[in-house]
Amino acid sequence: MQHPSSVIVGDAPLTPAEVVSVARHFARIEIAGAARERVAAARAVVDGMAADRDPHYGVSTGFGALATTFIAPERRRQLQLSLIRSHAAGTGNEVETEVVRALQLLRLQNLASGHTGVRAEVVDTYAAMLNSGITPVVREYGSLGCSGDLAPLAHIALAAMGEGEVRIVRPLATASDRMPAADALASAGIEPLALVEKEGLALINGTDGMLGMLVLALHDLDKLLGTADVAAAMSIESQLGTDAVFAADLMALRPQLGQAASAANLRAYLGDSPMVASHKGPGDGRVQDAYSLRCSPQVHGAARDTMAHAAMIAERELASVIDNPVITSDGRIESNGNFHGAPVAAVLDFLAISVADVASVSERRTDRALDPARSHGLPPFLAHEVGVDSGLMIAQYAAAGIVSELKRLAAPASVDSIPSSAMQEDHVSMGWAAARKLCRAIDGLTRVLAIEIVTGARALDLRAPLQAGPATGAVRDLVRTVAAGPGPDHFLSPDLEAVTELVRSGAVLRTAKEHVNV
């Protein structure tokens, strides 16, 4: 996926690649001219309502359960200020920089839609903060995924007002210092916002946090599911499995798209393997391989199909305007429920289930390679001197421990709801929680696949003089640049961490693809 060096906001819905580019690669933000015109028109509507004697929610009333309380004009700026200060109530660990930047960007996209009623100054301030690397400190807990990701978004707004704490984060920087938001804005030449009617509400009503994490997760899963096929190929090959079960005509009997894609990858990675060819034909007495080998396309494919569904939801959400109340195209201001995170929360949970399943089948392939009763001739635990050396025994323990946690993380967050705001907000999505656990699950899957790849690489080496195929052999050689091959036991953790980074960066998948036509 190519990542643009600059992103125009307000011209068209943001693409997933643009979100990743800003969140991770610090692409610069530009505001489309047409967006400025829409913003000005919507602001004029709000200004007209602010002068109206009749109450309008978010303009001249309180919020949530206080929506019936009329606020006098001279108190409305204090109302906006109090809203942000009170809602910036996050607690826990800091959220990752990339998540905060995605959060900032997606709220900016909503502000630039011309449906929220903020002034142009607000749009420009959010863009300037992103371009200056000003990353507000956002805490782990505080969002129920309904009425928007309120607390996380309030921390962003608080920083734009020159309050709270931020970090100045630059591309490729390994660390950043926390500082008062006022100092960061001053150093960047950004004037702190003084919010007026409707603006505080517009800054915090959105699914931007859970959506940002969904987009980042989908980007990572695209690499990881491709890498899962590579890892499976290494396991099948080194355990002397067959590739006949992945034939295209067999896959066509069950026309699941994800399954067909994974099977095509396995055929490509195994098709030119001398190791696979060495036991083909009537001399191979095994009727069929175990499920974890034979059914890899079915498991990986189900995850691919889940990801495709989640990507569709993400693209729809990227094209959405989330605010309450919202300024309609014909100049009305209307309350609505579009801030409810249910659509996003559901697919975040769905993905967590698929992540756990892919990791589970990966760990089972790893375990087979270490068991001499099932590995077809490999030494126990792939150890150098059996009994003296333990080989990769405890690497499998690590994978099993991660998989066990992934199963717990697969329990859906979106089925829970705790009423809030004096029962005004009596059903919430818990989408932020679903996103947070998916982030952790993706890290776990990355590590489980790395352990399978370390295991598969060593097993391929131990099959010598049989040779691996071009793709799997190239991945084995890549692993050898950061991790030792067969031999006496050594400190294993650095090897696993290094190969995990090869998986996370996409290097494993790129290397495999360079040697086949997929």
DSSP states along 36-58: HHHHHHHHHHHHHHHT-SS--TT
| Model pLDDT, residue 271 | 93
CA 324 – CA 359 distance, rounded (Å): 40
Tokens of 202: 């517009």
In one-letter notation, the amino acid at residue 243 is D
How is the beta sheet containing 178-180 ordered, strand by strand? 134-136, 165-168, 178-180
| Model pLDDT, residue 69 | 72
| Model pLDDT, residue 148 | 79
Tokens of 182: 């006022």
Ranges of the chain whose pLDDT falls below 50: none
| Model pLDDT, residue 202 | 93
**Cα dihedral 287/293/299/305 (nearest 10):** -90
Positive/negative CA dihedral, 348, 354, 358, 361: positive
Bridge pairing between strands 134-136 and 165-168: antiparallel
CA 275 – CA 237 distance, rounded (Å): 7
| Model pLDDT, residue 364 | 98
What are the beta bridge partners of residue 71? Answer: none
| Vertex 245: Cα angle to 242 and 249 (nearest 5) | 145
Contact criterion met (CB below 8 Å) for 181 and 135: no
| Model pLDDT, residue 169 | 92
Q: What is the end-to-end Cα distance of the chain in Å, rounded?
A: 15
Catalytic residues: 57
Which DSSP symbol is given to 172? T
SS3 (DSSP) at 263 = helix
Give residue for tokens 């890290």. Answer: 443
Q: Where are the beta strands (DSSP E) in 161-239?
A: 165-168, 178-180
Q: At what angle do helices 16-25 and 208-238 cross, to 10 degrees?
A: 90
CA 373 – CA 358 distance, rounded (Å): 24
CA 103 – CA 110 distance, rounded (Å): 11
In one-letter notation, the amino acid at residue 236 is I
SS3 (DSSP) at 180 = strand
What pLDDT, in 10s, does the model give residues 418-476? 788 767 777 788 899 999 999 999 999 999 999 999 999 999 999 999 999 999 999 99
| Model pLDDT, residue 62 | 66
CA 19 – CA 323 distance, rounded (Å): 20
| Model pLDDT, residue 285 | 65
**Contacts (Cβ under 8 Å, ≥6 apart) of 424:** 64, 65, 67
Contact criterion met (CB below 8 Å) for 416 and 405: no
Domains of the chain: 6-206 (1.10.275.10), 215-280+288-513 (1.20.200.10)
